[in-house]
Amino acid sequence: MKKFICSMLIASTFLISPISHAESFVMHTAKAGDSYSYISNEFNVNIDTLKELNQDKDNIISEGSLVKIKPISMNKTITIKVNNEKLNPEQHPYIENNRAFVPIRTIANALNADGIIWEDSSKTAILVQDKKTIRLTLGSNIAKINDQDVKLDAPISVYEGRTYVPIRFISEAFDCNVAWDNDNKTVLVNTTDSYDEDLYWLSRIIHAEATTQPLEGKIAVGNVIINRKNSPNFPNTIKEVIFDTNYGYQYTPAKNGAIHNSPSTESIKAAKLVLNGKNNISGCLYFLNPRKSTNNWIVKNKTFYKRIGAHDFYR
């Protein structure tokens, strides 16, 4: 029987603190040796403005602490909407490395996670939903989905008495669609089946595998996924093809977490063209970069079809 210790909020990182009326800020997690002078130069912000923003009179920055860089926008805070319903986080979200961070309880409740567990010995928050477990350790930019390491764009931190986690990473790990409305500074999360799941995952594998390739190369990578989906020898959905582990991970981005990206306009265009039937590699089921690949099995056992950009395609 699963043991969900929602009362783990007794841990110091989850203690309730007074509601702050500050705006949402762009943040920086301090590293060893960081100073206001360094941060001022790094982010092109006046040093006196930084000190005032952080109400710092001692000129001391502790490693791992969050430093406010600037408000995300004058008199605005980040809005979170799940299925178009606005959430009311206990504390304001913030931005670090272009990623929105929210209190862990806010997103866990919104996505109906089965439970939140606090592991005090390792300072790790654990989210559980169905057969998926996400481990998030304070101060670390490496999360775990089940037993797979995934690199985050910024570390898990404590802010205003709450443990904050990247909303896009958590949402996508739980198979939700995420978008950013920059004009309104709003994170849009969709948990329903109304969005095009095939386009969602196909555009992301194309972006992860072929971001530097020409459009034709992106289309070709997308068609390998489609050809596998249509083959009796592979899973029958795009998502299952991408995450197929029958003979180990078939695609590195699914293994290392790079699949959880924000695809470029061209990657989305390529995915749409592929889904609408454009095929430039016939029935190819394999591709590799001959300058980087160590997979000799494909070269020895499959038939070369053509090269597009940096990739060779095989039947």
pLDDT digits (tens, 9 = 90+) for 273-313: 998 889 999 999 999 999 888 778 999 999 999 999 999 99
Longest dimension (CA), the chain: 68
Residue 96 has pLDDT above 50, yes or no: yes
Range name among 6-20, 84-98, 198-212 with the lowest pLDDT average: 6-20
pLDDT band per the 50, 70, 90 thresholds, residue 102 = very high
Tokens representing residue 105 in the block: 């309880």
Identify the pLDDT of residue 193: 54
pTM for the model stands at 0.59
Q: Among 107-121, 221-235, 256-270, which range has the highest average pLDDT?
A: 221-235
Over residues 118-126, mean pLDDT = 94
Domain boundaries, the chain: 6-24+72-190, 197-314
How far is the C-alpha of 184 from the C-alpha of 181, rounded, in Å? 6
75 Rama sector, left if φ>0, alpha if ψ -120 to 50, beta otherwise: left
- CATH number listed for the domain at residues 197-314: 1.10.10.2520
Instruction: State the distance between the two ends of the chain, measured CA to CA, in whole angstroms.
Output: 47
How far is the C-alpha of 138 from the C-alpha of 3, rounded, in Å? 22
Identify the pLDDT of residue 192: 62
Residue 8 has pLDDT above 60, yes or no: no
Angle (CA) 132 107 43, round 5°? 110
Judge whether 95 and 164 are in contact, CB under 8 Å: no
Which residue's entry shows tokens 């775990």?
144
pLDDT band per the 50, 70, 90 thresholds, residue 11 = very low
Q: What is the DSSP string of 249-284?
A: -SSHHHHHSTTSS---HHHHHHHHHHHTT--SSTT-
Report the relative pairing of strands 132-137 and 142-145 from DSSP bridges: antiparallel
6-24+72-190 CATH fold:
Copper Amine Oxidase; Chain A, domain 1 (3.30.457)
Burial class for 46, CB neighbours closer than 10 Å (0-12, 13-18, 19+): exposed
Cβ neighbours of 70 (radius 10 Å): 17
Q: How far is CA 230 from CA 202, 211, 220, 227, 251, in A?
A: 14, 24, 15, 5, 18
How far is the C-alpha of 131 from the C-alpha of 151, rounded, in Å? 21
Identify the pLDDT of residue 39: 95
Identify the pLDDT of residue 2: 36
